[in-house]
Structure 1
Amino acid sequence: MKNFTSLFKLLAYVIFLLVSSCYPISPEFVSDFDSVFTEKSNADFDFANPAIQTYYLADTVIVLTDPSVSDTNLEVDFELVLNQVRFNMNQAGYTEISDSNLATQADFLVLVSVNRSDNYFSTWWGGWGGWGGWGGWGWGGCCFFPPVVTTSNIRTGAIIVELLDGKSLPQRNQTIPEVWYGVGSGLFRGNNTNLTTRTLRAIDQMFLQSPYLNR
């Protein structure tokens, strides 16, 4: 799914840095690995249409985390997340429809979801030979066998904000077309305050790099 493309890119980048740890690297903080990606899901959708003025924000953050992912005490404050999305939509010039009974009248339906993933990888060192090498001669003495294998886990997290076209709302139980989405991803490390602060910053960045959303 394209919502998780940035997660795979982040994972590859972090693994590269870890296996290259013998060289100086510039990132010093967990937040240095954060990234934000936004995209228009429907290239034909007219974001400049002045008739688009309202939105309805779902009051629940959807958790997409795989149940097999180990539990953690680290959590993001979902209420602050929803309020930050609401703040940015209001700042962009939209008017919120807060009554769920009137949600179908909104121009945009806004969904927020989060995902956390455990990404395991293995490294090894050692190899052929052993003391004395083949036959006790020549190239031996530098390595050992069997090789030593270690497994590490990089935990990543993502915040996803989606805008659905409320005016194209089909019949009940059918898919509502998505017109825009933003993904903020990074390492799921730090304390609760740090995670929440970085998540709120990612939401701000989504709207900052999508100026066409402004009224």
Structure 2
Amino acid sequence: MIVKILRYSALALTAIACCSCQKEPSTSDLRKEYLVYTAHDTATDFQQIETYYLPDSILVIGNSDRTEYWKDDDAQEILSVVADRMNAAGYTRLDDRTLSDVGLQLSYVRRVTYFVGYDNPCWWWYYPYYWAPGYWGNWTGWHYPYSVYYGYTAGSLLLEMVDLEADQQSGKKLPVIWDSFIGGLLTSDEALNLERTLDAVEQAFTQSPYLTTK
């Protein structure tokens, strides 16, 4: 079973409200705003999770032939928002991922475009420097307990929560129990891009009220 939530920024929602007289509101103007998509495994009891591990960098997905990580002040600000929201929800951040209940991995799509469907959710097998399952433990791949249908385009941010308490027996895959896709972040103004990104990360947690220990 899956619950998916799709939200646009407040400005875009206002535009839809103004068109409420239409049977199906036009979404032509939404391309000007960012989009926040969230999905989670409804079989997971997030209140039973106590600890999490968050890396100190964001993986960059682009056209490079080597692994790239985003670690500057902007990246740290984004990671701080994630940590703040996790802490506010009652979770405790640990420095040792082997002792953590869940892990959070962030990826920024810089240039490439990928489309994901239920029959082929793991597009990253075609990208050699995506987060490797072995980073988290002895898993052979990734597993979504729910179907996924969306595209990753340039200027997208991915947030994924993985269940580090899952079975690591031979052949098992690491479950992704919550994920968020944030798109439409790029403008010609770098300061605005960061502002939009921070707002969108906040929105991802706001529309995921089940992420709490309370």
TM range, smaller chain: 0.5 to 0.7
2:99 matches 1:105: yes
**Secondary structure of the equivalent of 1:111?**
strand
After superposition, the Cα gap between the structure-2 partners of 1:39 and 1:26, relative to the gap in structure 1 and judged at 3 Å, is closer
Report the counterpart of residue 51 of structure 2 in structure 1: 54
Choose which of 87, 91, 104 in structure 2 pairs with 1:90: 87
Aligned length: 143
CA distance in 2 between partners of 1:65 and 1:189 (Å): 18
CA distance in 1 between partners of 2:194 and 2:167 (Å): 32
For normalisation by structure 1, the TM-score amounts to: 0.58
User: What is the CA distance between 1:48 and its match in structure 2?
Assistant: 3.3
CA distances 1:77-110 after superposition (whole Å, capped 9, x unpaired): 2111111111111111111102xxx211111111
Identity %: 31
After superposition, the Cα gap between the structure-2 partners of 1:196 and 1:48, relative to the gap in structure 1 and judged at 3 Å, is same
After superposition, the Cα gap between the structure-2 partners of 1:190 and 1:39, relative to the gap in structure 1 and judged at 3 Å, is same
2:188 matches 1:190: yes
Report the counterpart of residue 77 of structure 2 in structure 1: 80
What 5-or-longer segments of structure 1 have no aligned partner? 1-5, 7-24, 69-74, 120-154
After superposition, the Cα gap between the structure-2 partners of 1:192 and 1:89, relative to the gap in structure 1 and judged at 3 Å, is same
Contact preservation (8 Å) 1:104, 1:169: no
Report the counterpart of residue 63 of structure 2 in structure 1: 66
**Secondary structure of the equivalent of 1:180?**
strand
For normalisation by structure 2, the TM-score amounts to: 0.58
After superposition, the Cα gap between the structure-2 partners of 1:189 and 1:67, relative to the gap in structure 1 and judged at 3 Å, is farther
CA distances 1:150-177 after superposition (whole Å, capped 9, x unpaired): xxxxx84111111111111626997422
What 5-or-longer segments of structure 2 have no aligned partner? 1-5, 7-26, 66-71, 114-152
**Secondary structure of the equivalent of 2:174?**
coil
Letter in 1 for 2:207: Q
